[in-house]
Amino acid sequence: MALTADVAPSGDQNVDALLMKTRWDAPGLSYSFPASSVFYGQNYGGNEPRNGFAPLNEAQSAAARQAFAMIASVANLNFTEIHEDTVRQPELRLAGADIPGSAWAYAPGSISINGDAWFRASSSAFADMRPGGYGFYVFMHEIGHSVGLKHGHDVNVFGPMTADRDSMEFSIMTYRSYVGASGRMMENEPWGYAQSLMMYDIAALQHMYGANYTTHAGNTVYRWDAMTGQASIDGVAQGSPIGNRILMTVWDGGGNDTYDFSNYAVRLTIDLRPGSWTSLDTAQIAQLGYDRPARGNIANSLLHDGDLRSIIENALGGSGNDLMMGNLVRNVLKGGSGNDRLYGFEGNDVLTGGRGRDAFVFDTSPSKANADRISDFSVRDDTIYFDNVVFTKLPKPGKLPASAFWTGAKAHDRSDRVIYDKNSGALYYDQDGTGKATKALVAWLDKKLKITADDFRII
């Protein structure tokens, strides 16, 4: 057996709620799918091997391999499948038996039962092992226990998850399908279960074992099929989920990465901020209970120790009226056709509205390090919005008064607040016009545009 180590809390309650007291103290573990109960020995645990033992079938074994691969992709913990014999014995075994519940698993430890997982052999829940179904979810959940994750709803060890995060949207280890659910049983529609580790599962595994930044460390492109929900990574299909639902979290180890939703024709909400959600077609939203839709389809992983390598940098919208939001690094956001609304947030972003009447929203403090490039601003069709919570010297919400706009290199009187330099393409905000305050660069536009105050709105 591999050695174990104690686990200290991280300081984040929603991470700590998923931690057992013990983890494996090894860079890698081996696992097997025993063909016989003889490998378990006498006086084993709850006597599972002597109670209707059944090896996992190929679909179940494949689901387990996929779950192990998911863990290895986010954390520095590798897994090797072995064929057990009298010489080679794994840390983790997975098999079926006539157990009273659907499944259970033993936590990391120093005796032979530790790390083993058992599944009810006669249960129809494990007949279809595709992602999105109950069977695949249970395999991920139990293997999570095998490597040191506890139930997020349990009050023991470091306490439960906070009420606003205690749901399958954030962890596969809680019994609550949605925020506020009773937790007595899962309430998801048959194909509405999580298809991956979720954001706090990933964070908890990384707290115990470290983050794996070698996963998709290049310039990776992620796409999803609008008809089946199947994800593809750099053009490689990842397998179709059940029922055209998408409910997953993306972990990416580095590079300059892109979410490509250009194949969608409906309105999308695309949010690249860590811990935030992207929503695609409403038909692909998982129902976590009666009239309880998931808050989105695709969640971004949380940052591990503030490391920015896992951030997704870019997004391509579809042909609907999309809402697109960047994050704290340089983003490239392309709206495509449709009347899109783009928020760059921090960083020197490149914003392209595409065809349609697009809106570019500025609601972060202007600076040279935070000046976006609007690559295709159309005076005829597009509008720039300023949030007066940030741009405090602008008038009340509504149209920008003509007296507050000026075309030139600098303000020409004290009422000027928005200045467009047509020779350079620079767009400035000035707190006091010709007063003592220095104008702040907001964005870069094309040169020589015939912009007027009518191209701006205050919100």
Domains, the chain, with CATH or none: 4-207 (3.40.390.10), 218-356 (2.150.10.10)
Q: How far apart are CA 41 and CA 278, in angstroms?
A: 49
**CB–CB of 209/18 below 8 Å?**
no
Q: How far apart are CA 38 and CA 151, in angstroms?
A: 31
Bridge pairing between strands 236-237 and 231-233: antiparallel
- In DSSP notation, 234-247 reads TTEE--PPGGG---
Identify the pLDDT of residue 249: 99
Phi, psi dihedral angles at 370 (to 5 degrees): -135, 30
Q: Write down the pTM of the prediction.
A: 0.96
Active centre residues (catalytic): 142
Q: How far apart are CA 6 and CA 18, in angstroms?
A: 14
- List strands edge to edge, sheet with 323-325: 269-271, 323-325, 341-343, 359-362, 383-386, 456-458, 398-399
73-91 pLDDT, tens digit each: 999 999 999 998 877 889 9
Identify the pLDDT of residue 2: 80
CA angle 102, 26, 105 (to 5 degrees): 10
Extract the residue ranges of the chain whose pLDDT is less than 50: none
Identify the pLDDT of residue 368: 92
Identify the pLDDT of residue 174: 98
126-176 pLDDT, tens digit each: 999 999 999 999 999 999 999 999 999 999 999 999 999 999 999 999 999
Please name every residue paired with 231 in a beta bridge, in sequence order, or none if there are none.
224
Written as six digits, the tokens of 224 are 């999803």
| Host H or E run for residue 205 | helix 199-209
- Residue found by looking up tokens 């992709």 in the block: 73
Identify the pLDDT of residue 1: 64
Identify the pLDDT of residue 435: 85
For 435, residues 6+ apart whose C-beta sits below 8 A from its C-beta are: 414
**CB–CB of 75/206 below 8 Å?**
yes
